[in-house]
A and B are shown apart, each in its own frame.
Chain A
Amino acid sequence: MKKSIFKTYEFFLFLLLVVIILAIGLINPTFFSIGTIFDVIRIQTIFILMAFGLLPVVILGGVDISFVAIAALATFPVHTLLLKLNYEGGIWLYYLAGIIIGVLAGLLIGWLISTFKLGIFDLSLGMNTMLYGFVLFFIGSVTNFDMPTGMVDWHSRYLISVQSVVGQSFLHISFLWVIGAGILLHIFLRYTTLGRAIFAMGSDKSVAIRTGFNIKKVYLTVFPVMGAMAAIAGVTDAGLQTNFRPYLFLGKNMAVLAAVIMGGASIRGGKGSVLGTFLGVLLVGIINQALVYLRIPTAWMDAFVGVTFIAFAVYQTLETRTSK
């Protein structure tokens, strides 16, 4: 029997978002504007992209923190090389090269995990430190602001612009990546055998093996997807910020993981959805904005994320126990 849409976790998240938005709007009416939504989306685009990449890993029952380092590896070295070659074209070559590097890094991780049975978290801890160390030592440690001419005005390519009381608000074209990646990932997870294998492995690994799912293939798919999404997020960020940083996304991994968990992906694996992840990231973004509008010092942000994360994790655990 199909669950009613009103009983899904995604609907609960949606309601929560609406309630928070209404609550802040009542205190500070300027919060109600299409501009606010565009702001949140613009700030969160890169987080959503990374969260999409992490989602399959979490469904698998793993925790990876190295995707941020892969994003750095897939952007800064490419940029350094292309600068030397006097590249003046558009952002597309960056995306292409980045995705290739991201996929290769993901293949390496997947191969190490499936061959040597390494812990996903332990390995990612080593990878994270190693890759940042590699980029910062061997490639360079200073932010680079030289952009190829074809890429200079990419940050102002808008999809929609809206006139509002606070001024002009824009929706950047990179939002299309979010929609495209979201749809592809959703189809992959729900309607392909490999996608179902990820859920099966996350629910019960030994049963999944006995059922005949190819474990190695799953690892060799999930991590390249993660690497590619991290690379896309990295290049997008560089394009929007018009600079390339060797320490890109350093320390942002925990926030992404928290958003994926808040988005309903089970902390034990076997559960999670693209829509939920999307809403989870928006929730973190809205809380962020809400603190600003409610004039709470932003220094409290981490504490709020921590409390929300714990509350969601405990709620999730208790809920699965009562439903059993």
Chain B
Amino acid sequence: MEKKQSFLEKAKEFWNINVSKSRTGQLILVLVGITIFFTLLEPKFMRVKTYDSMLLQMSELGILAIAVFLCILVGGLNISVMANANLAALFMGYYILTNFKPESTPQQIQMIILGGIGIALLVGVIGGLLNGLMVGYAKLPPLLATLGTGTLFTGIQKGLTGGESVTGYPTQLEFLGGGKVMGIPLPFIMFTVVSILIFIMLKFTQFGYKIYMTGANQTTAKFSGIATERITLLTYIVAGVLSALTSTIVLGRTMSANPDYGLATYVLFTIFVAVISGSRAGFGSVANVFIAMFALQTLQTGFNYMLQTVKGNTYFRDFIWGLLLIVFLIINYFANVKSVEDN
């Protein structure tokens, strides 16, 4: 009897430390909860095929969400990541189209695609540099700075292409968007590797520590000898690189460089992930972003199954996403109030 009680106490303690007071625990609970919910409600949900497409779909947005997460962590915001990715995809596409010839050998094509990835990364770095200079050094409010650059990136792409998509790439490119390595979609491997690398960067490097410091309190960070301008600049450049990585997936999957791709929804989703993962200036972890992304994708896929037969279901989904964002913003408010009271 006494032993049982102590087990209960232990469970209660475990609950208190790992679930009720930890965002990671809450997120895992939510993820498990919605997974069980959809499994019970929709017999077609729990299948390998479902998870196969889920892993593929969440990777694009997941990498962008990490980019936005980093910018939020350093005390900013970035709503230009998708525009930057689209522009990178365009230049990558241009490079591949100019160098690719029908008689190219598979090896040559591989080199051309690698060169294209290099070009995409370059565009990503330039985009990030522009954002970083404006936010870090010119001290523009990040929302407006990235609104301006986002408009500019999309504008350049529309100007160059007349608003049309650019297509006609060698089929080998499809590997980047959906190829499998040991049965796992390549984009998901990229998302996982990026998550682990950023995790290591934030936890174990000077740079990561300084990002947290700058985000938590810029003035204090500055007085402790941290070059906050440079840290901000570098963070936005990392975000640009992540945008470029996303662009390779998008180009490989859709086989077209489209100026409008994803622009209407990605801002909502990246911020949604940041909000439910509990990220804010100086606080947050990649693990939470990863789990939050998984939860969001599970919801998305679950909705897709359930609403298949409903007419105009995309509009209904928009309605639900908007509502959920507002609900989670309010939940965050109460969570913050509680954590202040607890301390």
Contacts and interface: CB of A to CB of B under 8 A. Distances in A.
Contact of A299 (B163, B268, B320, B330): B163
B326 A130 contact: yes
B271 A125 contact: yes
Interface string B308-338: 0000100111111111111001100100000
A133 B159 contact: no
A291 B140 CA distance: 28
Contact of A118 (B145, B149, B156, B329): B329
Contacts of B322: 125-131, 133
B182 interface: no
B140 A267 contact: yes
Contacts, number: 144
A254 B154 CA distance: 13
B323 A130 contact: yes
Contact of A303 (B156, B324, B326): B156
Interface residues on B, range: 35 or more
B140 A136 contact: no
A107 to B, nearest CB: 15
Interface residues on A, range: 35 or more
A126 B323 contact: yes
B200 interface: no
Given A133-B316, A251-B264, A268-B141, A126 B162 contact: no
Contacts of A123: 326, 329
Contacts of A314: 134, 138, 140
B262 interface: no
Interface stretch (A82-90, A193-201, A305-313): A305-313
B79 to A, nearest CB: 9
B158 interface: yes
B190 interface: no
B271 A129 contact: no
The interface centre, meaning the residue of B144, B152, B158, B323 with most chain A CB atoms within 10 A of its CB, is B144
A146 interface: no
B139 A130 contact: no
Given A258-B151, A300-B158, A310-B134, A133 B319 contact: yes
A269 B74 CA distance: 22
Interface of A: 63, 112, 116-119, 121-123, 125-134, 136-138, 141, 251, 254, 257-258, 261, 267-268, 297, 299-307, 309-310, 313-314, 317-318, 321
